[in-house]
Every structure is written in structure tokens, then in C-alpha cells.
Amino acid sequence: MGWRRAAISGVGVSRQGKLPDETPNSLAAEAFVAALDDAGLRRENVDGLLTMPGTKSPEGAKHYLALGEQLGINPRITGSLSMGGATAGVLIQQAALAIDAGMASTVACVFGDTAKTGGSRFNAAAGTDTDSWGIWGMFGNAANSAFGAQRHMARYGTTSEQLGWVAVTMREHAALNPDAIMRERITLDDHQSSRMIVDPLHLLDCCIISDGAVAVIVTSPERARDARSAPVDIWGMGQGHTLEKLGRPDWWYLPHQADCVSDAYRMAGVSPADIDVAQLYDNFTISVLFWLEHAGFCAPGEAGPFVEGGKRIRLGGDLPVNTAGGNLSESYMQGWLHVVEGVRQLRGECGPRQVDGARLCLVTGRGMTLNTASCLILGGTA
Amino acid sequence: MSDGGFVRPVRTEVNRGFWEGVDDGVLRVQRCLGCGELRYPPASRCPRCLDAEWTWQPVSGRGEVLSYVVVHQRYHPAWSDRVPYNVVLVQLDEGPRLISNVLPLSGADLRVGMAVRVVFDDEDGVRVPRFVSTDGTDGATEPN
């Protein structure tokens, strides 16, 4: 069952946090070396390089050139892509398709950033160059998600306290992850009393900002079975994008997220009930609620009650979510660490935060002005 | 756009009719001559039928608040001394949606579904469309 024509054979994570002596590409190289080691590969085995430039990468769409030179790779396939939090999933999908088509055998997908040291504020105004939303004071990523949160609250009775349970639960998980940046437990009162950023989103509804890098090695299932670490197969993949913003009345509700997950379910031949653990993109707490609804774990409008008290989404619950702490508490690697945690859960490597018997993991990503979404369904073989 | 100052609209061949309408106190959107679709933001072709011909169509300026936020974070120098201020997503009665504000900017009395009507506000010498609530009125009378 499942597509399973490509697999993840290695994951590598650089140091995370504030790393003022590093560059996006020095961190990316650190993660790449760690991923090679995890897979038991040599650099010469890698014949594909797909990259995501960091917010502080100067190269933009030519990022693959600089990183490939740094890593000494002359690949059969390469390129760079900027789709925000959806990029990790999309690049892994491109790698999987290239491998299935025989265009490459082992592809490294790499992201590195110095957003913390570089002072990335994620405060750009959306809209067009000439009709900027900044004319009306609409800046930054939080405001877009806050529009969605406000409307979800008005339509379905969702509350700020319910969003707070997402923050509290992700922090509980991070407390069990020695590599997480924010490990000190928080309470619902801490969430409620944290300062307002863009009402209805408080500070503790927002992800952290970090320096760091992640690399993921994608190869054929056959090659993955020779790797040092247990292989994780790609069962299903999907994308969905709403590139119009004001042009779509339901842009705020991100309908493309449902499209991308349903494609992945169909390809994997599974349903929400089959998923053992989920890594749901959490740039803001509200995003977890949207994903729970779009991925079919609850009906539209019911994600507020679903997350209340944290019982169902915490370790030991019906659907453990973001078991490493997510963007909210582990580190803000724009969804790349969600893939890494999915792989580690399916290998059974997660120690005190391990989900017993985890066999299938849903991983989602989403980016830009709510526009892009990607989904992977990963299956363990351990 | 400028560094530090008010983010100014940049007039182009495509959006000039919108901003000239605003100067004259009329809210206008593009109407596609191919399919009749009303559209905003201004674009050189219709996103529905891809036709490149359009005309400027005055709209009522009435609509409802689809969603709103209140910005507390100081994201931009021109707005830093105005926090907290609201930003709204308005659904015009005629169909198009736009980003704007409800006056007063610091007003906390907003709700999703609130009826609003366009007004024209001066911002550093530039006229910009903003909205006022018409909840509880027929919207026919001027505020203030």
C-alpha cells in the first residue's frame, strides 16, 4: 500500500538558535554533513541538490549555485525554490519524482537561514508592488493568519484560550526535546497574558525566529534500505495553492490545504484514521486548527474544541501533533524540522517523546501570504 | 513606497483609474469588457477570462467586514505611533474584496459581518479609501 517509489534515507540538523558567527550556507553545510552521516552516504553519492534560500540568503533563486559550490556537488538535477513553509514538502516531492523518473538517484534537499542573527522581522506588506497593503498598515505574516483566526472565531466560536492550548501543548513537547530552543513550560495564563501582536494573536501564538539549517536525503526505496538509518518511505504527496488572495472569498480559510492533503491521502491509500502522528505547520497557533480541519481530523469549525485542554493533540492523545515542539517551540526552520521529526518518529528514535508504534506520519507545510501548501505522508519500516 | 514614511500608492497605467477615482471621491473598480467581472486589485488582464480590455466602474462603496485585525506590533515607522490600529478585509456589495481600515483607526468596536461604507481620508497629502460603520443605520447619512 502507498506510493512508496521514493524514500527518505537521511536527515541532518545543524545547531539551532542564535548563531552569530554563521552564514545560511555554513549552517546548510553543517546540516548536509549530518544528513550524509545519518544516511551513511558519501558526498559523491549525491547527484541532486534542491535548495530553499533562507530569509538572509543573498543569492535568491540562484542559491543552488552558491550552496552547490560550497558542498562540491555537480548534480544531475538542481534548483532553488521559495514557497515559504511549503517549500520543504515541495522540494522533497520534486526529489521523489526525479528519482522515480530515473533523473537522479540520491537528492539532498537543503535549507539554511540566519533569520535570528540577521534580524528577519517577517514584516513585509503583501499586495502588489503598486497597491501595497502597507497603504492601510497591513504588514507582516501575523496579520494574514490573524484575519483567518478572527473569522474562524466569529463563524465557529473558536476562542483565544483554545489557540493557547496549542501553544501550551507544543511547549510540553519541546520540554521533552533536548534540541528544542524553548523548553520552559508555559501555562494558559502565560499565553493569555502575553502581549498582543496582531489581535487576536498574542506573542505566544507566534512561532519563534531562529538560525539553523536542515538537510533531507531522498533516494529510491531500494537504496534507502542500504542506508545506515532505518528508511522512511514516501506513501503520499500533495500540493495545493491559492495564488489569488483578494480574488478568492475563502482565501482566509486556505482551501488549498484541504486539496493538498486529500491528494496525499489518495496517493497513500489511507484516511485520517490511519495517521498515528502529525507534524502540522505552525507558524501561528491558528494554523494548527486549520490543518486539523483540512486534514480531516475534525469537521470544519470543530478544531477549537479538538485542541481544547490539549488532551487529544499531546503525546498519548488520539493524534499527537508536533511532537518535537514545532515552529512554536522547537525552532523556526519553516517546516523542515517537521519532516525531520516525522522521520525520527517513524524510526522510533524519539526517546521520551516517542509515539508508541508510530507507523504513518502526516507532515504539512504552508507559506507565503497563506498561498502555498504541501503535504507528505511518510511510512516507517522500522 | 518610501523608507519610513507613509507607504504611498504608486500610480501606474493599470491602477491610475482607481486612485483618480479616489481623488474625486468615487470608489471605482475595473470591469472586464470580456466577461463583465468586477475586479480588485487593479490588473492588466482579467483573472477570470484573461481579457485585456477594461473600464472603470463606480461601485456603491458599501460592503461588510469579512474579517479584521488590530495591529499592536510596530512593523513600520509610519504606523508605529498609531498602534493599536485596525485593518479590515472588506467585501463590497458588488463582489470585489479589498484591504482597508475602519475609522477611527483605533476604534475597538469592530465585528465580522459589520456593515460599512467607504469614506475618503487624507493621509500625508494622499487620499485613501477607508470605511466607517453603518451598523444600526441605513448608511444614508454622513458620519460626523
Residue B74 belongs to a domain: yes
pLDDT digits (tens, 9 = 90+) for A121-138: 888 888 776 778 999 999
β-sheet bridge partners, residue A371:
none
**Spatial distance between the Cα atoms of A308 and A278, rounded to a whole number of angstroms:** 17
Q: Specify whether the CB–CB gap between B117 and B91 falls below 8 A.
A: no
Residues of chain B contacting residue A286, judged by C-beta atoms under 8 Å apart:
none
Which B-chain residues 84-123 have CB contacts (< 8 A) with chain A? 84-85, 87, 89, 91, 96-101, 105, 111-113, 123
Q: Specify whether the CB–CB gap between B143 and B119 falls below 8 A.
A: yes
B91, B32: one domain: no
B41, B106: one domain: no
pLDDT at position B143 is 44
Domain A7-119+207-380 -> CATH class: alpha beta
What is the rounded average pLDDT of the residues B50-72? 97
B27, B88: one domain: no
pLDDT at position B108 is 66
List the single best residue of A121, A135, A156 to mutate versus B (max B Cβ within 10 A): A135
Residues of chain B contacting residue A123, judged by C-beta atoms under 8 Å apart:
75-76
Which A-chain residues 313-352 have CB contacts (< 8 A) with chain B? none
Residue B16 belongs to a domain: yes
State how far the alpha carbon of A296 is from the alpha carbons of A10, A290, B76, in Å.
29, 10, 38
A301-334 as b/e: b if 16+ CB within 10 A: eebbebbbbbebbbbeeebbbbbbbbbbbbbbbb
What is the rounded average pLDDT of the residues B116-140? 87
By the CB < 8 Å criterion, does B5 face chain A? no
Contact check, Cβ <8 Å, B89/A143: no
pLDDT digits (tens, 9 = 90+) for B9-47: 899 999 999 999 999 999 999 999 999 999 999 999 999
B90, B140: one domain: yes
Closest CA relative to residue A181, chosen from A18, A325, A324, A331: A331
Instruction: Return the C-alpha cell found at B33.
Output: 469588457
Residue type, B7: V
What is the DSSP secondary-structure string of A313-351? TSTTSSS-B-TT-HHHHT--STTHHHHHHHHHHHHT--G
List the single best residue of A122, A130, A252 to mutate versus B (max B Cβ within 10 A): A130
State how far the alpha carbon of A132 is from the alpha carbons of A163, A300, A341, B43, in Å.
29, 32, 37, 13
pLDDT at position B138 is 55
**pLDDT surpassing 90 at residue B124:** no
Q: Specify whether the CB–CB gap between A16 and A211 falls below 8 A.
A: yes
Closest CA relative to residue A227, chosen from A213, A216, A214: A216
β-sheet bridge partners, residue B58:
B28
B19, B52: one domain: yes
Residues of chain B contacting residue A133, judged by C-beta atoms under 8 Å apart:
87, 99
Share of chain A above pLDDT 90, in %: 92
Q: Which residues of A are catalytic?
A: 281, 332
Instruction: Return the C-alpha cell found at B60.
Output: 456603491
Residue B7 belongs to a domain: no
By the CB < 8 Å criterion, does B74 face chain A? no
Residue B1 belongs to a domain: no
Q: Specify whether the CB–CB gap between A111 and A54 falls below 8 A.
A: yes
**pLDDT surpassing 90 at residue B137:** no
pLDDT digits (tens, 9 = 90+) for A71-129: 999 999 999 999 999 999 999 999 999 999 999 999 999 999 999 999 988 888 887 76
CATH of the domain at B75: 2.40.50
By the CB < 8 Å criterion, does A206 face chain B? no
Task: Sort B35 into a burial class: Cβ within 10 Å, 0-12 / 13-18 / 19+.
Answer: exposed
Average pLDDT, chain B: 91
Residue B6 belongs to a domain: no
List the single best residue of B1, B20, B30, B69 to mutate versus A (max A Cβ within 10 A): B69
CA angle (B46 as vertex; B42, B51 as ends), nearest 5 = 130
Closest CA relative to residue B14, chosen from B34, B24, B29, B36: B29
Q: Specify whether the CB–CB gap between A353 and A177 falls below 8 A.
A: yes
By the CB < 8 Å criterion, does A150 face chain B? yes
Long-range contacts of A34-37 (CB under 8 A, 24+ apart): A34/A215, A35/A10, A35/A11, A35/A108, A35/A215, A35/A216, A35/A217, A36/A10, A36/A12, A36/A217, A37/A10, A37/A12, A37/A228
Query: Which residues are CB-contacts of B17 (< 8 A; sequence separation ≥ 6)?
Result: B28, B30, B42, B56
Number of domains chain B contains: 2
What is the rounded average pLDDT of the residues B88-110? 94
**pLDDT surpassing 70 at residue B140:** no
B64, B121: one domain: yes
Residue B102 belongs to a domain: yes
By the CB < 8 Å criterion, does B40 face chain A? yes
**Spatial distance between the Cα atoms of A49 and A75, rounded to a whole number of angstroms:** 6
**Spatial distance between the Cα atoms of B96 and B101, rounded to a whole number of angstroms:** 16
B118, B144: one domain: yes
The boundaries of the domain holding residue B18 are: 12-58
List, run by run, the mean pLDDT of 10-residue segments along chain A (382 residues): 96 97 97 98 97 94 96 97 97 98 98 94 78 91 96 98 98 98 98 98 97 98 95 98 90 93 98 98 98 98 98 98 98 98 98 97 95 97 76
B91, B115: one domain: yes
Residue B3 belongs to a domain: no
Query: Which residues are CB-contacts of A137 (< 8 A; sequence separation ≥ 6)?
Result: B71, B76, B78, B79, B82, B85, B87, B101, B105
B64, B53: one domain: no
B85, B141: one domain: yes
Element (H, E) at A216: strand A211-219
Out of A125, A130, A150, closest to residue B69 by CB: A150
- Strand A7-13 to strand A211-219: parallel, antiparallel, or no bridges (unpaired)? antiparallel
What is the DSSP secondary-structure string of A114-157? EHHHHT-------B-SSSBGGGGT--HHHHHHHHHHHHHHHHH-
Rounded to the nearest 10°, the torsion over CA B73, B125, B114, B97 is -90
Residues of chain B contacting residue A134, judged by C-beta atoms under 8 Å apart:
1, 7, 76
Out of A131, A195, A199, closest to residue B42 by CB: A131
Contact check, Cβ <8 Å, A131/B9: yes
Residues of chain B contacting residue A198, judged by C-beta atoms under 8 Å apart:
69-73
Instruction: Return the C-alpha cell found at A190.
Output: 502565560
Residues of chain A contacting residue B130, judged by C-beta atoms under 8 Å apart:
136
Out of B67, B79, B84, closest to residue A150 by CB: B67
